[in-house]
Amino acid sequence: MKKILVTGGAGFIGSHLCERLLNEGNEVICLDNYFTGSKKNIIHLLGNPFFELVRHDITEPYYAEVDEIYNLACPASPIHYQYDPIKTIKTSVVGATNMLGLAKRVNAKILQASTSEVYGDPKIHPQPETYWGNVNPIGLRSCYDEGKRCAESLFINYHKQNDVRIKIIRIFNTYGTRMNTNDGRVISNFIVQALQGKDITIYGDGTQTRSFQYVDDLVEGMIRMMHTDEKFTGPVNIGNPLEYSMLQLAEEVIKLTNSSSKIIFKPLPEDDPMKRKPDISLAKKVLNNWEPVVGLEEGLTKVITYFDNVLAE
């Protein structure tokens, strides 16, 4: 039985990861400061004696004896990470330093949840891991993008300087059950608006694209990454390469919810990337032929059912 620490474990992705790790027979410590996460996301795990829930902020040191660490703590939605940009940077940089210090002390393997945002508004399409990105260091999104870029640098240097066993994954837009209805990201916004018969808010002209991955596919990729060859650090892109414009997404959501909602257009936020799509050749190669299996219609249908229940409560 392995002892595994999941930071940000009460969040959207973290809660799915905790559940999966417990199901595989591990002992899990879920650490969270509940900024965007919630006890509701992991309430069903609380009866499991091998699950431990700890309120803790990773910008403060943390001591435990563990075999593996998944470092997910960080707000991920633009409205949340821009709410307190300095805190967002501290979470990525000071938080990563603490978790790396912990990994170093107890010789744990540690995986960093990095992001496609390290590519900024990309000038290469689709984005391979070798692309260095196009990020505005002083823009609205920089607290998140640059924080995550600095965390990657910290990870690689703890590996080189201190022999810490690290894994870096770059997660592309991911959605699924347990996202907050007020998360502010596009999928939750569109589905909630469609279910409530409110206007669907497209920012800009809706031609910008994203590639959406269902959370189960991500969790599978994360766990496979943790188990790759000792010397392999990544970074590896984990995402679904099927690319949609926001206009196409809005139409798909309206269709699947049978909604009478109308599409309206609002201003495009500053530095909003125009397109994004992962090149997943490396992931397929190093993660045992991993590839996403949940398509957009199937994934959206699950989230629509979930939000329908949440909104009814």
> What does residue 167 show for φ and ψ, rounded to 5 degrees?
-140, 130
- Which partner, ligand NAD, ligand UDP, none, binds residue 115 by CB below 5 to 8 Å per kind? ligand NAD
State the nearest-atom distance from the C-beta of 96 to ligand UDP, in Å: 10
Q: Is position 91 an interface residue for ligand NAD (rule: CB under 6 A)?
A: yes
Sign of the C-alpha dihedral, residues 98, 114, 111, 154? Answer: negative
Question: Cβ closer to ligand NAD: 265 or 302?
Answer: 302
Residue whose beta carbon is closest to ligand UDP: 101
State the nearest-atom distance from the C-beta of 130 to ligand UDP, in Å: 21
> What does residue 7 show for φ and ψ, rounded to 5 degrees?
-85, 145
Alpha helical stretches, state H, 60-185:
78-81, 85-106, 142-162
> 134 - beta bridge partners?
120
Binding test (CB under 6 A) with ligand NAD, winner from 28, 30, 36, 294: 36
State the nearest-atom distance from the C-beta of 25 to ligand UDP, in Å: 25
The span from the CA of 155 to the CA of 45, in Å, is 30
State the nearest-atom distance from the C-beta of 72 to ligand UDP, in Å: 16
Residues contacting residue 305 through CB under 8 Å, at least 6 positions apart: none
Please give the residue ranges that form the binding site for ligand UDP (CB under 6 A). Answer: 61-63, 78, 97-98, 101-102, 104-105, 173, 185-186, 189, 201-203, 208, 210, 246, 268-269, 272
Question: Cβ closer to ligand NAD: 199 or 302?
Answer: 302
Report, in this order, helix, strand and coil percent for the chain, each rounded to 5. Answer: 40, 20, 40
Which of these ranges, 55-63, 119-127, 131-139, 300-308, lies near ligand NAD under the rule CB under 6 A?
55-63
Give which of 111, 130, 83 is closest to 169, Cα–Cα: 111
- Which partner, ligand UDP, ligand NAD, none, binds residue 57 by CB below 5 to 8 Å per kind? ligand NAD
- What 8-state DSSP symbol labels residue 278? B
Q: Is position 32 an interface residue for ligand NAD (rule: CB under 6 A)?
A: yes
Residues contacting residue 114 through CB under 8 Å, at least 6 positions apart: 148, 151, 152, 168, 169, 170, 171, 235
The span from the CA of 29 to the CA of 18, in Å, is 8
State the nearest-atom distance from the C-beta of 285 to ligand UDP, in Å: 25
Question: Cβ closer to ligand UDP: 2 or 56?
Answer: 56
Tell me the two tokens of residue 195: 């279910």
**Active site annotation includes 158:** no
- Helices 215-226 and 12-23, interaxial angle, to 10°? 60
* Strands of 109-115's sheet in order across: 51-55, 27-32, 3-7, 68-71, 109-115, 166-171, 236-238
CB 208 within 8 A of CB 273: yes
Q: Is position 72 an interface residue for ligand NAD (rule: CB under 6 A)?
A: yes
The span from the CA of 233 to the CA of 245, in Å, is 32
Binding test (CB under 6 A) with ligand NAD, winner from 4, 58, 225, 283: 58
- Which partner, ligand NAD, ligand UDP, none, binds residue 272 by CB below 5 to 8 Å per kind? ligand UDP
**Looking at 62, 70, 119, 144, which residue is catalytic?**
144
Q: Is position 217 an interface residue for ligand NAD (rule: CB under 6 A)?
A: no
- Which partner, ligand UDP, ligand NAD, none, binds residue 155 by CB below 5 to 8 Å per kind? none
Q: Is position 14 an interface residue for ligand NAD (rule: CB under 6 A)?
A: yes
Catalytic residue numbers, as ranges:
144
- Where on the chain is the footprint of ligand NAD (CB under 6 A)? 7-8, 10-14, 32-37, 57-59, 72-76, 91, 95, 113, 115, 171, 173-174
